[in-house]
Amino acid sequence: MAHLLSDTLDLLRRAPADVRAAFDAHATARSFEAGEMLAFEGGESTGFFVVMEGSVRAYKIGESGRELTLYRMLRNECCVLTVFAVLSGIPVPAFAVAETDVELALVPTPVFREWIDRFPFWRDYVFTDLSQRLGQIMGTLEQAVFQRVDARIASYFLRHADAATGRVAVTHERLATEIGTGRVVVSRVLKKLERSGIVKLRRGSVEIVDGRRLRSMRTGVGAGLDG
Banded model confidence at residue 1, pLDDT cuts 50, 70, 90: very low
pTM (2 decimals)?
Answer: 0.68
CATH code where residue 179 lies: 1.10.10.10
224 assigned to some structural domain: no
CB-facing half-sphere around the CA of 102: CA atoms within 13 A: 29
Banded model confidence at residue 222, pLDDT cuts 50, 70, 90: very low
- The pLDDT assigned to 62 comes to 76
How many Å apart are CA 40 and CA 58, to the nearest integer?
A: 10
- Are 52 and 134 found together in one domain? yes
- Are 47 and 29 found together in one domain? yes
227 assigned to some structural domain: no
226 assigned to some structural domain: no
How many Å apart are CA 95 and CA 109, to the nearest integer?
A: 18
- Are 139 and 163 found together in one domain? no
- Are 52 and 12 found together in one domain? yes
Structural domains counted in the chain: 2
- Are 141 and 178 found together in one domain? no
Domain finish residue from 95, 125, 145: 145
CATH code where residue 93 lies: 2.60.120.10
- The pLDDT assigned to 146 comes to 67
15 assigned to some structural domain: yes
Query: pLDDT tens digit string along 181-211?
Result: 888 889 999 999 999 999 999 988 999 999 8
- Are 114 and 153 found together in one domain? no
How many Å apart are CA 135 and CA 181, to the nearest integer?
A: 21
DSSP-assigned beta bridge partners for residue 137: none
- Are 51 and 113 found together in one domain? yes
How many Å apart are CA 121 and CA 19, to the nearest integer?
A: 8
**Single-letter amino acid, residue 156:** Y
Query: pLDDT tens digit string along 121-169?
Result: 999 988 888 888 887 787 777 777 667 888 889 988 988 888 889 899 9
Query: pLDDT tens digit string along 48-68?
Result: 999 999 999 999 887 767 788
Task: Name the pairing type of β-strands 67-73 and 56-61.
Answer: antiparallel
pLDDT higher than threshold 50 for residue 221: no
- Are 187 and 136 found together in one domain? no
How many Å apart are CA 20 and CA 196, to the nearest integer?
A: 56
- Given a contact cutoff of 8 angstroms between Cβ atoms, the answer to whether 22 and 119 are in contact is yes
- The pLDDT assigned to 56 comes to 95
- Are 117 and 166 found together in one domain? no
How many Å apart are CA 23 and CA 26, to the nearest integer?
A: 5
Domain finish residue from 93, 122, 145: 145
Residue 75, Cβ density class (10 Å: 0-12 exposed, 13-18 middle, ≥19 buried)? middle
- Are 126 and 191 found together in one domain? no
Nearest-CA neighbor of 152 among 87, 214, 202?
Answer: 214
The gap between the terminal CA atoms of the chain, to the nearest Å, is 64
- Are 105 and 210 found together in one domain? no
Query: pLDDT tens digit string along 63-117?
Result: 767 788 888 899 989 888 888 888 888 898 889 999 999 999 999 999 999 999 9
12 assigned to some structural domain: yes
- Are 83 and 178 found together in one domain? no
157 assigned to some structural domain: yes
- The pLDDT assigned to 145 comes to 67
- The pLDDT assigned to 31 comes to 96
- The pLDDT assigned to 3 comes to 64
- Structural domain including 184 reads 147-219
Domain finish residue from 93, 120, 145: 145
pLDDT higher than threshold 70 for residue 227: no
CA-CA distances (angstroms) from residue 3 to 6, 8, 41, 139?
A: 9, 9, 35, 40
C-beta neighbour count of 8 within 10 angstroms: 17
